[in-house]
């Protein structure tokens, strides 16, 4: 195996007693305390200290001491067990302290999305009846305070940044003020072990992203999360020497389980990235061995790689050759192809040293596993990563399953699928090819929504995922969301995710959404790359100072491009009209979920007038020529 490429397959073999103590833990609080006892002096977390301008390490023992301080402050509030604790702060040491303190005191963390708007946050605070809220800064609380009447259960707000209150009035406190005051209080009590809690006690209420309608609170027990952590660790071995880089929000179950609780179980170190804009710099500085991400990050890196060879035919041919040889080597290692000829291996070694090594260096050069989930990753993006030696592992899950259902492993990696089900997770295909899941990781239900729970969770434990899938030789291949299947007015059924992925293989388009439910044909809403559109517009002779994206020339040109991208789809599954914009869908404008998935309902509502124009005169007739 070449230096810098993924580790030998033997590294995946798991002994029968590997992390057996994890299976013996009944609560996440017990898991934390066991880890502190096992490796007290080892590095637990690494965070960038803005004041010192450097990365600072924290041992498990140090973190345990910090958590005890938070526990005393929380205990002094006098909340009964099961109190919901809202956490609206970024990934970092305070987030860990807040979560562990809440769990140890028998409370229920409610992780919130930092990028969410006050209206949505107010809804969740009211729905979960949050009693204590941790926010990143005082200004965040002031924005929420306008909705104060909607969540009367809130008794205390603690903010990490901002001037301390000059008098003990109101509910808000600065973090230093809160910790110092409660530490000195008589009610703080002596240091004590985590309160015993039952496996079925709530470990979190995690609100779904809300791509359609109001978010629902998913109730995850300690047992749900621990079962998932154990199953993942027995599929992909993680070592005490591993280093994670955490940048996905801890308000998302994918990051909470795989990027936070799992490293605790394994004794691995977690470094908290400074921000997404600084992610590539942090990758270079931290040099992680494991990266947990959503597809959008890999897609952006792939787009940057294509940019580098744009207009450079010689470099493009070398890259294509490197990927072709690397892919054959990957397929051989997976047992799906014969070993490449000696001349190919020799050429592959040279090309890997020149191109592959540099590509891996973008991720720090030490990755043992690059995990992707939360949304589908196209094979066209996965293939060059694997061919260039980045060990990309795609998995599948949902918040309701805590979240991982299946994943590929280093020893058994088929990027066209999401891998095999985890141990002790059952799957089957139901009506309309819906994937059903059953196991200890499946949620307890939706918070105070018994009707919604009954719709997705059968009495015998089978969870309806809402995803269409097929089982191929024990592996799961996801076809698309059942509720997102477009049924045109002519009766044709189309999975928009496949179409959108094909369109996004063209670097001109950064975001795409296909529309056509109960309409005579499909249309595409497309966000173009500003840089590439400038080049394309000039080549088409368009005046870029005006709204040239809406010109007939631009639309026809874009239609021709997406026509080539979706040429393998049947004619009824090809968009017949397009709308182009350079304004990206984002978290800020409410058109993306925190995991960067398009909010289909919100996008259709935002572009309702545009869609009406695209379908004008064709409400029930034939598609335009």
Over residues 39-86, the pLDDT tens digits come to 999 999 999 999 899 999 999 999 999 999 999 999 999 999 999 999
Asked if residue 424 is part of any domain, the answer here is: no
Domain boundary among 146, 175, 197: 197
Asked if residue 572 is part of any domain, the answer here is: yes
Asked if residue 608 is part of any domain, the answer here is: yes
> What's the rounded Cα separation, in Å, for the pair 45 and 93?
8
Q: Lowest-pLDDT range, 75-89, 106-120, 431-445? A: 106-120
Instruction: List the CATH number of the domain containing 128.
Output: 3.40.50.980
pLDDT at 623 over 50: no
Structure token digits, residue 223:
């047992």
Domain boundary among 197, 213, 234: 197
> What's the rounded Cα separation, in Å, for the pair 350 and 2?
11
Structure token digits, residue 43:
């590095």
Asked if residue 594 is part of any domain, the answer here is: yes
Mean pLDDT (the chain, rounded):
88
Strand stretches in 377-503, DSSP E = 392-397, 404-407, 420-421, 425-429, 434-439, 445-446, 463-472, 475-481, 486-487, 493-494
> What's the rounded Cα separation, in Å, for the pair 248 and 30?
25
Give every CB contact of residue 438 below 8 A, 6+ residues apart in sequence: 425, 426, 427, 460, 461, 462, 463
> What's the rounded Cα separation, in Å, for the pair 428 and 425?
10
Q: Which residue has the tokens 């020497």?
A: 241
Closest CA to 360 of 330, 329, 392: 392
Strand stretches in 473-576, DSSP E = 475-481, 486-487, 493-494, 509-515, 523-528
pLDDT at 13 over 50: no
Across 299-303, 313-317, 591-595, the highest mean pLDDT is recorded for 313-317
Asked if residue 67 is part of any domain, the answer here is: yes
Running DSSP on this structure, what letter comes out for residue 592? B
Domain boundary among 197, 219, 234: 197
> What's the rounded Cα separation, in Å, for the pair 130 and 151?
8
Q: What DSSP line would sit under 313-370, residue for residue?
A: HHHHHHHHHHHHHHHHHHHHHTTSSPPPPHHHHHHHHHHIIIIIHHHHHTTTS--SEE
Asked if residue 479 is part of any domain, the answer here is: no
Q: Which domain holds residue 491?
A: 486-614
CB-based contact 239:266 (threshold 8 Å): yes
pLDDT at 224 over 90: yes
Per-residue pLDDT reduced to its tens digit, 369-380: 999 998 788 898
Asked if residue 358 is part of any domain, the answer here is: no
Number of domains making up the chain: 2
pLDDT at 454 over 70: yes
Per-residue pLDDT reduced to its tens digit, 371-418: 999 878 889 899 999 999 999 999 999 999 999 999 999 999 999 999
Given CA atoms 96, 100, 101, 102 in this order, what sign does their dihedral have?
positive
Asked if residue 34 is part of any domain, the answer here is: yes
> What's the rounded Cα separation, in Å, for the pair 119 and 144?
8
């Amino acid at each position: 195996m070449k230096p810098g490429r993924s580790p030998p397959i033997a590294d995946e073999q798991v002994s029968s007693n590997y992390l057996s103590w994890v299976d013996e833990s009944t609560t996440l609080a017990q898991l934390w305390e066991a880890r502190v006892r096992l490796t007290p002096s080892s590095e637990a977390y690494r965070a960038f200290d803005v004041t010192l301008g450097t990365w600072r390490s924290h041992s498990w023992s140090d973190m345990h001491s910090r958590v005890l301080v938070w526990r005393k402050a929380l205990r002094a509030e006098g909340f009964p067990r099961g109190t919901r604790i809202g956490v609206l702060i970024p990934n970092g040491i305070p987030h860990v302290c807040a979560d562990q303190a809440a769990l140890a005191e028998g409370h229920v963390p409610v992780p919130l999305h930092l990028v969410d708007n006050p209206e949505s946050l107010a809804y969740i605070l009211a729905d979960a009846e949050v009693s204590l809220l941790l926010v990143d800064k005082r200004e965040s609380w002031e924005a929420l305070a306008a909705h104060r009447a909607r969540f009367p259960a809130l008794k205390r707000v603690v903010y990490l940044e901002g001037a301390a209150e000059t008098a003990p009035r109101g509910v808000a406190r600065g973090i230093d003020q809160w910790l110092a005051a409660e530490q000195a209080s008589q009610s703080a009590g002596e240091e004590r072990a985590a309160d015993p809690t039952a496996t079925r006690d709530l470990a979190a209420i995690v609100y779904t992203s809300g791509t359609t309608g109001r978010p629902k609170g998913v109730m995850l027990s300690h047992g749900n999360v621990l079962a998932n952590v154990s199953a993942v660790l027995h599929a992909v071995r993680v070592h005490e020497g591993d280093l994670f880089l955490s940048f996905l929000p801890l308000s998302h179950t994918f990051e909470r389980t795989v990027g936070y609780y799992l490293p605790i179980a394994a004794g691995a170190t977690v470094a908290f990235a400074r921000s997404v804009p600084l992610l590539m710099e942090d990758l270079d500085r931290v040099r992680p061995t494991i990266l947990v991400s959503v597809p959008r990050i890999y897609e952006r890196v792939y787009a940057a790689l294509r940019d580098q060879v744009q207009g450079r035919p010689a470099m493009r041919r070398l890259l294509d050759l490197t990927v072709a040889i690397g892919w054959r080597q990957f397929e051989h290692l997976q047992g799906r192809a014969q070993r490449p000829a000696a001349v190919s291996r020799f050429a592959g070694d040279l090309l890997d040293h020149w191109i592959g090594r540099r590509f891996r260096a973008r991720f720090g050069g030490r990755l043992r596993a690059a995990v992707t989930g939360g949304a589908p990753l196209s094979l066209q993006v996965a293939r060059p990563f694997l061919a260039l030696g980045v060990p990309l592992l795609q998995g599948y899950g949902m918040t309701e399953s805590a979240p991982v259902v299946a994943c590929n492993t280093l020893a058994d990696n088929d990027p066209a699928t999401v891998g095999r089900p985890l141990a002790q997770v059952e799957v089957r295909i139901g009506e309309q090819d819906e994937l059903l899941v059953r196991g200890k990781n499946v949620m307890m239900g939706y918070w105070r929504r018994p009707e919604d729970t009954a719709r997705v969770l059968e009495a015998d434990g089978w969870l309806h995922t809402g995803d269409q899938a097929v089982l191929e030789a024990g592996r799961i291949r996801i076809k698309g969301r059942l509720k997102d299947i477009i049924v045109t007015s002519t009766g044709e059924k189309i999975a928009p995710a496949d179409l959108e992925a094909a369109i996004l293989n063209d670097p001109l388009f950064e975001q795409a959404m296909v529309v056509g439910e109960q309409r005579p044909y499909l249309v595409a809403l497309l966000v173009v790359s500003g840089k590439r559109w400038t080049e394309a517009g000039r080549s088409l002779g368009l005046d870029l100072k005006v709204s040239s994206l809406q010109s007939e020339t631009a639309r026809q040109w874009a239609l021709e491009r997406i026509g080539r991208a979706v040429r393998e789809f049947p004619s009824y599954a090809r968009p017949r009209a397009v709308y182009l914009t350079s304004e990206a869908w984002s978290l800020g404008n409410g058109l993306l979920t925190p995991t960067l998935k398009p909010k289909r309902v919100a996008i259709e509502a935002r572009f309702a007038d545009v869609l009406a124009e695209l379908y004008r005169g064709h409400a029930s007739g034939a598609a335009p020529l």
